[in-house]
Amino acid sequence: MSSSLAKTLAESARSFDSTGSEVDYEPAALRIARPSAKPASGVPVLAGPARLGCRELFKSYQKGSVGIPVLQGVHFDVSDGEFVAIIGASGSGKSTLLHLLGTLDKPDAGEVLFDGNRIDNLPATSRDLLRNRHFGMIFQAYHLLPELTAFENVLAPAYIYESTLGYWAKRKQYRQRAMELLELVGLADRAKHKPSELSGGEMQRTAIARALMLKPEVLLADEPTGNLDRSTGDQVMKTLCELNEKQNLTIIMVTHDPLIAGQADRTVQIAEGRIVG
């Protein structure tokens, strides 16, 4: 597994170098930390190989001069193809955990592992690439780019991954992929609409399509149904479950709703920065 990631990263780096659009991409930045020889003691052994996990994560936010602890030693693993729901009250640190797993933020202490490699201490360029190619993210507030149409929003990760010329050369494949994804989430007829012309459910499904654009290994979902009513929320959940079942996509979802969490394979309860069950 780890060799496949390294290979992908190296390939991406080559494509960056050849087009020259992303400068300052040092080969050293590609070095993936070796899996630690001695895993921290007390790690629960999982049935499947661990896709994404964390070891003793600590994180606190600075509010004025006081540091407010958010995560206090979170420790868990998600195996390949698993659908995990992280459930907890608001302020319990579940969103922060998701951001740390998705390398959007850095932990104060502890490690984040992807395919057994430490990723929290990678240089910025490598983490950008991880978010771009290997993680898909969806958010409670959808976070679509308002200036782009639904179709262009789905294409956004490809825009970011490719240089202008590189995208131009492969535009047919990318456009086809984006259209397939929109069909998958049932929005083929809304492709030319701006986010402001879409309903909440449609926006969230567009966001899912965008997250899947570059075939990520892991989908990170932050309260995906938080802003939706029950029936649209169920539609979104149905889509996520299907993706998990049919494409064996690893999904980590954060929610405060036990009913939504119940649809996942496994539920992890978090309270006051610690996993409680």
Partner 1 sequence: MYKLLLCWRYLRTRYIALICIVSVTLGVATMIVVNSVMAGFTHEMQSRLNGMLGDLVIDCRSMDGAPDAAAHMQTIRRTVGDDVVGMSPTVNVPALLYFDVYGANGKRQSVTRQITLVGIDKSTYADVSEFGNYLQHPKNRDQLDFQLRENGYDTIDHMAEDMSKVQPRKQMKSAGWGYRRYKSMIEKQHAAEAATKQPKAGDEKAEVNEPFDPFKAQAEANGEAQGQEFDSAKEQHTGIVLGIGICGMRLANGSDHFLALPGDDVKISFPTASMPPKAISERYTIVDFYESKMNEYDSNFVFVPIRSLQESRGLVDPTTGVGKFTSIQIKLKPGADANAIRDKLKSAFPQEFYMVSTWRDKQGPLLAAVQMETAVLNVLLFMIIAVAGFGILAIFYMIVVEKTRDIGILKSLGASGRGVMGIFLTYGFSLGLVGAGAGFVIGWLFVRYINEIADGLGRLTGQPVFDPSVYYFYKIPTIVQPFTVAWILAGAVLIAVMASILPARRAARLHPVRALRYE
| Binding site residues, partner 1, CB under 8 A | 22-24, 99, 102, 104-105, 124-125, 128-133, 137, 139, 143-148, 152, 156-157, 159-164, 166-167, 210
For partner 1, which is the closer residue by CB, 17 or 245? 17
DSSP of 2-71: HHHHHHHHHHHHHHHHHHT-S----GGGGPPPPPPSSPPTTPPPPSSPEEEEEEEEEEEEEETTEEEEEE
For partner 1, which is the closer residue by CB, 95 or 250? 95
DSSP letter assigned to residue 84: E
Which two tokens mark 215? 């075939």
Q: Minimal distance in Å, beta carbon 7 to partner 1? A: 18
For partner 1, which is the closer residue by CB, 81 or 166? 166
For partner 1, which is the closer residue by CB, 97 or 184? 97
Q: Minimal distance in Å, beta carbon 263 to partner 1? A: 24
Q: Minimal distance in Å, beta carbon 148 to partner 1? A: 7
Q: Minimal distance in Å, beta carbon 17 to partner 1? A: 15
Which two tokens mark 135? 């993680």
Residue 119, phi then psi, degrees to nearest 5: -120, -15
Burial of 87 (0-12, 13-18, 19+ CB in 10 A): buried
